[in-house]
Amino acid sequence: MKLQTKITLLFVVISTIGLVLLNASIFYFVSEFNFEDFFKRLEARVNLAAEIRINPNKESLAYEQVRTRYLEKLANETEYIMKLDTNRKPVYKKAIDLPDQFYDKILTQRKARYTEQNHFYAGSLFKIKGQKYIVIVAATDPYGFKELEELKKVLLIIFVVSIILTYVAGTIFSYYTVQPVRGIIKRVKNISANNLHMRLDELKSKDEIGELVLTFNNMLTRLETAFETQNNFVSNASHELRTPLTIISGETQLLLKDDRITDEARVSAKTILQEAEKLGHILASLLGLAQTGFDGKKQDWQKIRVDELVIEVAESAKRIDRDSVIDIDFAALPDNAALLYTYGNSNLLQLALSNIVLNACKYSDNRPVTIKLSADAFNITINVVDMGIGIPVDEQQKIFEPFFRASNTGQFKGYGIGLPLTQNIIRLHKGTISISSEVQVGTRMQVTLPVA
């Protein structure tokens, strides 16, 4: 889930919780206010009923006129008057069937309220001329309940509309919030090992986004320094070691041409020359490995036709190893020749493919090696299949590590640098390289390159 979507959902969830609490609070307080107002109106009628009904007199007549003139009759309004008799238990006889707790509260607290659905009851205890009376007034409040139902509908509509507006506002808010991050991602995607000198545009703001950009730039500076240091060390070391190595090889060759040396010394000189040549190959591979890494600028790519490149690699491998048998399979080539082109450096790609093909020839004792080429709308695939010694399963993931050699390659010469160099070159061309192998059956190396 994208960050923008997460922010939007979080914004909507928080707003929804807030709206639910707000609407619930509004409904609760309005209903409480309505109930409280209605109960006060009932209690006023309880007092009037006590004045009018219990001990009628002239003042009672005045109360009756006031009630008739100024107080509206409530819906289903009913009065109940009960005289208490202390000689019996309970001291009252229920005039209306209500819970005992309601009557007990009247006796203990002189006043009580009770509601059941839309029926409201208010009761009070009165003492008039030495006698105690319980007066209860009951009524319904259809208008109040109707108002609450209308309020519920209004709040529901407001809630739905608010959620929609919140979602729209959250989407806009998250879009502009994540926009700087989106810009950073877009710029970071353009930075690779080929252009580590590039930096993100620093923001004037001192917020977390500005701090993130600064952190990225500092990280890129450290990476650039590390790559440059590694590249310079390997390049300089390779160059510096070549001079004394050339002198050793030259002097050894001169020594071998001298007829005065003994046979024993000649054997030693030949060993020195062979090891010097091995060291020369190692230095050349190390230099190539360094050159395929960071060079501080974009490589100068050109369009390369891969089928022609494969033919050149096969011919080159046959010149180096004259006993090799290489079969090229172009049966799966597409009809559209444009799908056979990729962008890259021809020399580097030829070096990478040559390493794979020469390894296949070497480790299969010159049994047939097949190079199969295929392509689709997006990728060009090169498969190099041999029938050689294979690679143990637990060692297949290590073959791209510099100087690593499989445990079953002891009888073959090698330095463990060819495949790491090949992998670097393929990665440099935005491709992939994979391997599948079985001991004593053979190995398949697959290289995938993007179509130009």
Q: Where are the domains of the chain?
A: 3-147, 208-291, 302-450
CATH of span 208-291: 1.10.287.130
Architecture of the domain whose range is 302-450: 2-Layer Sandwich (3.30)
The tens digit of pLDDT for each residue in 378-421 reads 899 999 998 888 888 888 788 877 777 777 776 676 666 678 88
Global pTM reads 0.49
List the beta bridge partners of residue 329.
372
What region, left, alpha or beta, does residue 365 occupy, with left being phi > 0 and alpha being psi -120 to 50 degrees?
A: left
Distances (CA, A) of 214 to 184, 211, 224, 313, 441: 11, 5, 15, 46, 53
* Residue 108 predicted with pLDDT over 80: yes
Give Cβ neighbours of residue 158 (< 8 Å, ≥ 6 apart): 23
Mean pLDDT score of the chain: 82
Residue 279: strand pairing partners: none
- Greatest mean pLDDT range, 81-90, 232-241, 378-387: 378-387
Domain 3-147 and domain 208-291, same fold? Reply is: no
CATH code given to domain 3-147: 3.30.450
pLDDT over threshold 60, residue 294: no
pLDDT (0 to 100) of residue 156:
93
Task: Render pLDDT for 313-352 as a digit per residue (tens, 0 to 9).
Answer: 888 888 777 788 889 988 888 888 888 999 888 877 888 8
